[in-house]
A and B are shown apart, each in its own frame.
Chain A
């Protein structure tokens, strides 16, 4: 599904390397987790995959089902099935949540040559998905994320994911700022989407989200690289001992 090979990324207007030869291979149907200390480049990886400006890829490749992601515009990546649940979802005053969702859905459908969703069908769909995530009608009516609590913003990200049904979902610290109940809701939302044709990359600091979303593979990232890969037990190890031991194993 997602194949990243020897990815090197630096800041566009600064001589600062952030990703230093990162490789990942995520198969359809699987859930991969990335854990790592603050500043190791996890969000940068997610941004570069989604196509945010400000970064420069100096080496390596990233392919989504064989297609060169790095050559595509952000909207093309989305239409191709890539989704990033942002670590910090932005507030957009003046743009209604519903207008936004509907515009996004129909734009993706159009890009894929599918028919647009009627407003009736759209409403039905959004209401039922919002209900699952305990997002009330008032939140849907408000401008995108404006006045939302941290947890509401994260749930709104999952709502968008549920609506857009992407094939490759990247969740960047979706659990941060969530209380236990909200985290369960989010995890349920994610688990409901797990399927053969879909893959997840879950970026997190904590084991606790991985109690709810069981990963197949766990990667430890440090200083712009994957330094260790293992099964779910690796997350437990981090939870118990922190990163220090793992970092110490790796030659600088």
Chain B
């Protein structure tokens, strides 16, 4: 066989895909820059070209069509104004880093000098020849290309012109808060962040806001031994918005990573997370609560690798779907041979509020160590009629009873938010959302 292989063979399809990718990306101009960052971008572009852009027939995209995530221009999405509640994280003392329509805004952000932190804008680092992030930018993303290819993450590495590089070296007194505001209906946001938490240091990272009509955010996280990162993300509520995010996190010994994502609304959201537990006794908890009504397709794709002994991982993803909304969960726990005494847990559940909703799930365990404790479960169903009747028989009106039961359903995911006030704030917003979507 040669390059002109028949289009219906595997090799033929791959050749066609690579040609199409080459064609699609031929006019792509990478962000200006020199030095290591430019080289990392070029290498990433080469990765994309060697893998080809994904298609909806790919196993990895079987439940979510990537077309709208990679079309030339984003479909416009109306800016959703929320008037009846304060902005997310409003009351939290935090270091604010604001992006508007995908571009860093110095005047809306706090000064980037903070005790215990080094923060620099990605576009400012381009001129620096030596930088701590040099070893990380694109590195974890490249590593994440096996065993499953994620070309759109590599494309982000190549294209992202903005983002922040955060290094935590000591005691930090307040969270770092990345805020993605938007003004234009058709803006596209492509950001790439790198976060390195040094040994023994801790950080809380907040993210919120819709960002743009279409978002691609890659966050590469490197936690040294004994480092902690607590990540709380509230995605914006614009109904027509599309977003693809990747979190790549590598943990050293005894490191702790906790990540929670709240997603309400959004035409298409795919949140990917890949975590490597590379040092003994590390802890990684990934959780999400997603609520959608109508045009809503929300996909959590999670891959946790236990490469070292004695680590704990939890995945808790809950979805509440109304009026034809679609929820997707693809989750895997891979326990490599050295990872004895692994404690792995994975739970994905959807509450289907009517018959038109769909939950598509692919939970997986792959275990090569013999002394491990791993469990997983995936369910979807309606609100339990007996529960509902019990509450109503005590006088609780149907809508209030449903709300109580929905919040109860989400509780295990919300419990992964360490900060009590943040968790309470999320609950209040969930209640308001449920009130607005009560029927």
Contact flags A96-116 to B (C-beta < 8 A → 1, else 0): 000110011101100100000
| Interface contact B390-A90, CB-CB below 8 Å | yes
A107 to B403, CA, bound (A): 14
A186 within 8 A of B: no
A48 within 8 A of B: no
Residues from chain A with a CB closer than 8 A to the CB of B393 are 50-52, 74-75, 77-78, 84, 86
B405 within 8 A of A: yes
Q: A73-B392, A89-B390 are in contact. Are A94 and B400 (CB under 8 A)?
A: no
The 8 Å CB contact of B408, one of A74, A77, A92, A164, is A92
Q: A53-B385, A90-B387, A103-B400 are in contact. Are A75 and B392 (CB under 8 A)?
A: yes
> Chain B at the A interface: mostly helix, strand, loop or mixed?
helix
Interface size on B (CB < 8 Å)?
A: 23
| Interface contact A103-B390, CB-CB below 8 Å | no
Q: A92-B408, A94-B409, A95-B404 are in contact. Are A75 and B386 (CB under 8 A)?
A: no
Min C-beta distance of B395 to chain A, whole Å: 4
B396 within 8 A of A: yes
The 8 Å CB contact of B392, one of A74, A89, A160, is A74
A242 within 8 A of B: no
A93 within 8 A of B: yes
| Interface contact A99-B395, CB-CB below 8 Å | no
B411 within 8 A of A: yes
Min C-beta distance of B193 to chain A, whole Å: 34
Residues from chain B with a CB closer than 8 A to the CB of A89 are 390
Q: A93-B408, A100-B404, A103-B400 are in contact. Are A160 and B394 (CB under 8 A)?
A: yes
B397 within 8 A of A: yes
| Interface contact B395-A92, CB-CB below 8 Å | no
Residues from chain B with a CB closer than 8 A to the CB of A90 are 384, 386-387, 390
B407 within 8 A of A: yes
A208 to B384, CA, bound (A): 35
Residues 7-52 (chain A) with a chain B CB within 8 angstroms: 50-52
Residues 86-143 (chain A) with a chain B CB within 8 angstroms: 86, 89-90, 92-95, 99-100, 103-105, 107-108, 111, 143
Residues from chain B with a CB closer than 8 A to the CB of A75 are 392-393, 395-398, 401
| Interface contact B392-A164, CB-CB below 8 Å | no
B422 within 8 A of A: no
| Interface contact A94-B391, CB-CB below 8 Å | no
| Interface contact A79-B408, CB-CB below 8 Å | no
Min C-beta distance of B244 to chain A, whole Å: 31
Q: A52-B389, A74-B389 are in contact. Are A94 and B411 (CB under 8 A)?
A: yes
Residues from chain B with a CB closer than 8 A to the CB of A50 are 389, 393
Min C-beta distance of A82 to chain B, whole Å: 9
A119 to B384, CA, bound (A): 29
Closest B residue to A111 using CB positions: B395
A92 to B402, CA, bound (A): 12
A241 to B407, CA, bound (A): 51
Closest B residue to A160 using CB positions: B394
Residues 407-423 (chain B) with a chain A CB within 8 angstroms: 407-409, 411-412
| Interface contact B385-A86, CB-CB below 8 Å | no
A10 to B150, CA, bound (A): 57
- Max count, chain A CB within 10 A of own CB: residue among B390, B391, B392, B397: B390
Residues from chain B with a CB closer than 8 A to the CB of A53 are 385, 389
Min C-beta distance of B54 to chain A, whole Å: 37
Closest B residue to A109 using CB positions: B395
The 8 Å CB contact of A100, one of B389, B391, B411, is B391
A103 to B395, CA, bound (A): 9
| Interface contact B398-A107, CB-CB below 8 Å | no
A144 to B385, CA, bound (A): 15
The 8 Å CB contact of B387, one of A92, A103, A107, A111, is A92
Q: A107-B396, A108-B395 are in contact. Are A99 and B390 (CB under 8 A)?
A: no
Chain B interface (Cβ within 8 Å of chain A)? Answer: 384-387, 389-398, 400-401, 404-405, 407-409, 411-412
Can you list 28 pairs linking A and B with CB atoms under 8 Å apart? A53-B385, A53-B389, A74-B393, A75-B397, A77-B393, A78-B394, A86-B390, A86-B393, A90-B386, A92-B387, A92-B390, A92-B408, A93-B408, A94-B407, A94-B409, A94-B412, A95-B391, A95-B405, A100-B396, A103-B391, A104-B391, A104-B396, A107-B395, A107-B397, A107-B400, A143-B408, A160-B394, A164-B395
A51-B392, A103-B400, A105-B395 given; name 12 further pairs at CB < 8 Å: A92-B387, A92-B390, A93-B408, A94-B405, A95-B404, A95-B408, A100-B394, A100-B396, A107-B395, A108-B395, A143-B408, A144-B390
Chain A interface (Cβ within 8 Å of chain B)? Answer: 50-53, 73-75, 77-79, 84, 86, 89-90, 92-95, 99-100, 103-105, 107-108, 111, 143-144, 160, 164
